Structure 1
Amino acid sequence: MKIPRLSHHRGSMIDASLPMGHHLRVGFGRGSSKIPWDSPTLRVVFASTLLAPLGIALISPGLSVIQAEFSLTDAETSLILSSYFVTGIVLSPFIGALEDRVGRRAVLIPSLLLFSLTGAAIAYAPSYEVALALRIVQGTGAAGIFISTVTLIGDVFDGVQRTAVLGANTAVLSTGAAIFPIVGGLLAATSWNAPFLVYLLGIPVALLAYVALDEPSVEHHPRSLGSFREVFVALSLRESLLLYGSAFMIEILLFGAVFTAIPFQLSAEFDVRPVQIGLTVTAALIASAVAASQAGTLAKYISDEAIIISGFACAGAGLLFAWQAGSPALVGVASAVFGAGWGLVLPSIDDEVSEFVPVEFRAEALSLRNSTTFLGRTLAPILFTALAPFWGYRLLLLVAGVVGFASGLLGWILSRWNSNGD
């Protein structure tokens, strides 16, 4: 007989033996969603998170310029994006285990420096192969930043406030990603390598973390990767499928459709320049920032699972609209609808993982989320550019929209799955 698990979540009691999305809430709607903007930890987290979009959003508008510089095919050009995530897929669990052993601060600061220095070095890469190698190393630093920032939020904040802070963190991520395509497009118009010099901004952020960031009072224990079994003990099969599966699929759609298919489609079908492509991508990311900033408010009234399902519905609708769009402006509107969905999904996933996994294993649990996220980001550009010669980018947007709705439906089925059947 399975004993119902009770968890304090968003200031209320949840009977986890009930299907997800049907949690019994006591004190429904209670809890403060106020964000402590004066927190030094939060300032470091937000500054670090703001760097994350530099990895892709800064480079995406200039893909055609990089392609021309090195005489690349579409598939080869897409590796500039996907190679950035290769090491994160494999090394994220090790980074998470290291972080739970030595602390968040000891991982974040070196990750910021590695991200910054290797990224800037790409500007001086003598060949395409060297640029790819540097992108792979840079991705290791990016993985450390992603894991450390979200884990710090889970350590320091709780309940509705944690949901609100995670939403604000995603909003910061999206705001940076909304600005950087414009910056990247402008810089790429001057030279292919100019955008990569922006990565030097990571150095002052690392100095800020060194001066201002205190290590959270979390007990660290020496242990091996075998401790990951504790993560899967804490998360049921249903929760693991819903949370990690959602993280994988929403990134497949974002990086395959919005960051790869739409830029190539706008360039080929509408002869749109890099700056205009950047504006279209920006529409998605502004909408994402707005949606994510409301995560704390939504979490007072509906479950994380319901927010995730709603986010996929928005994502699917946006991609279907992009399939039918007959002008760059309408593609921008469609991208904004998708972006709102993405902004709802990501903080809700991280909130659920942070809630159900004990604090001493939190970095490992979130590192697994990071691995699935990076896997989606790596496969998406390769998958979409490989299928494009046969289907075309417009048909790919139709398929992606259908997949978005199907993912939401699967999430709803998982949310109805009684935990007694796990």
Structure 2
Amino acid sequence: MAPSTTHGRELWVIVAAATLTVMAGAIVAPVVPQIQRELGVSGTAAGLIITTHGGVIVLASPLVGALVDRVGPRRPFVGGLVVYGLGGGAGFVVDGFGPLLASRVVLGVGTAAVYTAVTVLIYDLYEGQAMERALGYRSSANSLGAAVWPLVGGAAGVVAWNVPFGIYLVALPLGLVAVATVPETRSTPDGTSEAGGSAGSRASLSTRLAATLATFRDRPGLPLVYLLAFGANALLYVVVVFYPQFLPRVGVSSSLAISLYLAANGAAGGVAAVGYDRLVDRAARSTLVLVALVCWTVGFALAAVVETRAGAVVPVVLLGLGVGLVFPSTFAWVETFAPAEKTGQFSSYIASFGYTGQFLSPLLFGPLVPLVGVRGVFGAAAGVAGVGALGLGVWAWRRASAVADA
């Protein structure tokens, strides 16, 4: 199917599905203490309800990517929504920690399928500015979901600890809508995938690995994009994990007030992402990422020194604006750099590297807390972002000089 340059009903189904990937963890985060009390488990065990699906996404995404390349994105998308709804919604009826944890594994598989299929559907259905707009909407939905879903989960948790799990069931009717609205994009007349083929399915692991490494060698921009995805998610989770620990120091202690600061972070990212196609029409993608890195550097630096509740809003807004510029850029760069027949495989690595960054963020920055305090963590994050901005700035300057001398 030829890519479309207009936005139809399928776009809104895709955007709605995109926010479910954020909901996977965000909707139940507010009730983790309740789960701990009601099921009689330790805080560490209860925390696995948040982290388990992310670990599964890291492992499952490359497999999903290969499947998408073989059969096209539509069937993994619809199937992923069903698996997501059943895995997530199972928490509404289970009454033991073991079954609950198993349901989170199923949820992770569904989330991995939806995440990668959404990306490839946008690549296949849209082109040019329409694709940039769709990627921006997708990232905006993620950012706004990060702001809204914790509030929804917290409100549902007032009824009972397991009520937020019932919200996952919304994926099932969304899957039915997807069947009716999202078209096949890669089928050939004989019913086989243009990208897959039986030869691809028979290729040995070593052959596929060699082909992947050859692609990275021939297209050196790809590993840098994955590094950017890893770093962006690691820095995002510095906000998610450590900003709530910092806010009581400036007089913000209620869970509702803290959630509003995090909501401001998500809202700022959503605003930046929704206008991404217009921004990228006026500035190079690398320039937008450089602006984002500068926003992160300044935002984290301000967080390290701010002393007032009002002042603490500015860092989260700056950090959110950076997220809204970087995330659609990573997706767009992969579409540019990856082989056309392997966009499923290479877009799946965004999920793997991104969720790895989220998982490792507290492990990388947490040990600094006893040494330099939470403010020191923000200072270190500012340094990381600053190094990234400097490296990208030098690269852009050298590239401009080379073009001028040519």
| TM range, smaller chain | 0.7 to 0.9
Task: Please state how far the C-alpha of 1:128 moved relative to its aligned partner.
Answer: 4.2
- The residue number in structure 2 matching 1:320 is 301
Range with bigger deviation, 231-240 or 140-149 = 231-240
Conserved? CA contact 1:185–1:275, under 8 Å: no
Task: Please state how far the C-alpha of 1:129 moved relative to its aligned partner.
Answer: 4.6
- The residue number in structure 2 matching 1:216 is 185
Within the alignment, does 1:249 sit opposite 2:231 as a pair?
yes
Distance (whole Å) between structure 1 residues aligned to residue 230 and residue 59 of structure 2? 15
Conserved? CA contact 1:105–1:214, under 8 Å: yes
Residues 1:287 and 1:133: Cα distance change in structure 2 (over 3 Å): same
Conserved? CA contact 2:304–2:379, under 8 Å: yes
Residues 1:261 and 1:249: Cα distance change in structure 2 (over 3 Å): same
Which structure 1 segments of 5+ residues have no match?
1-33
- The residue number in structure 1 matching 2:13 is 44
Residues 1:289 and 1:73: Cα distance change in structure 2 (over 3 Å): same
- The one-letter code sitting in structure 1 at the alignment partner of 2:70 is R
Conserved? CA contact 2:299–2:318, under 8 Å: yes
- The residue number in structure 1 matching 2:389 is 408
Residues 1:283 and 1:412: Cα distance change in structure 2 (over 3 Å): same
1:99 to 58, 63, 68: 68
Instruction: Count residues with an aligned counterpart.
Output: 385
Task: Please state how far the C-alpha of 1:356 moved relative to its aligned partner.
Answer: 2.3
Task: Please state how far the C-alpha of 1:417 moved relative to its aligned partner.
Answer: 6.7
- The one-letter code sitting in structure 1 at the alignment partner of 2:225 is L
Task: Please state how far the C-alpha of 1:392 moved relative to its aligned partner.
Answer: 3.7
1:372 to 353, 357, 381: 353
What is the percent sequence identity of the aligned residues? 27
Distance (whole Å) between structure 1 residues aligned to residue 154 and residue 103 of structure 2? 21
Residues 1:127 and 1:324: Cα distance change in structure 2 (over 3 Å): farther
- The residue number in structure 2 matching 1:332 is 313
Q: What value does the CA root-mean-square deviation take over the aligned residues?
A: 2.9
- The residue number in structure 2 matching 1:59 is 28
- The one-letter code sitting in structure 2 at the alignment partner of 1:336 is V
SS state of the match for residue 119, structure 1? helix
- The one-letter code sitting in structure 1 at the alignment partner of 2:390 is L
- The one-letter code sitting in structure 1 at the alignment partner of 2:233 is E
Structure showing the higher helix proportion among its residues: 2
Deviation track 1:167-223 (CA, whole Å, cap 9, x = no partner) reads: 121112222222212212322344333322211111111111112211113623231
- The residue number in structure 2 matching 1:116 is 85
Give matches, 1:355-370, under 5 Å. Answer: 355-370=336-351
- The one-letter code sitting in structure 2 at the alignment partner of 1:369 is I
SS state of the match for residue 311, structure 2? helix
Residues 1:89 and 1:306: Cα distance change in structure 2 (over 3 Å): same
SS state of the match for residue 160, structure 2? coil
Deviation track 1:12-47 (CA, whole Å, cap 9, x = no partner) reads: xxxxxxxxxxxxxxxxxxxxxx9734x133122112
Distance (whole Å) between structure 1 residues aligned to residue 248 and residue 139 of structure 2? 29
Within the alignment, does 1:195 sit opposite 2:164 as a pair?
yes
Within the alignment, does 1:152 sit opposite 2:88 as a pair?
no
Residues 1:176 and 1:307: Cα distance change in structure 2 (over 3 Å): same
Distance (whole Å) between structure 2 residues aligned to residue 98 and residue 198 of structure 1? 28
1:170 to 131, 139, 157: 139
SS state of the match for residue 239, structure 2? helix
Conserved? CA contact 2:6–2:126, under 8 Å: no
1:143 to 91, 94, 112: 112
Which structure 2 segments of 5+ residues have no match?
188-193
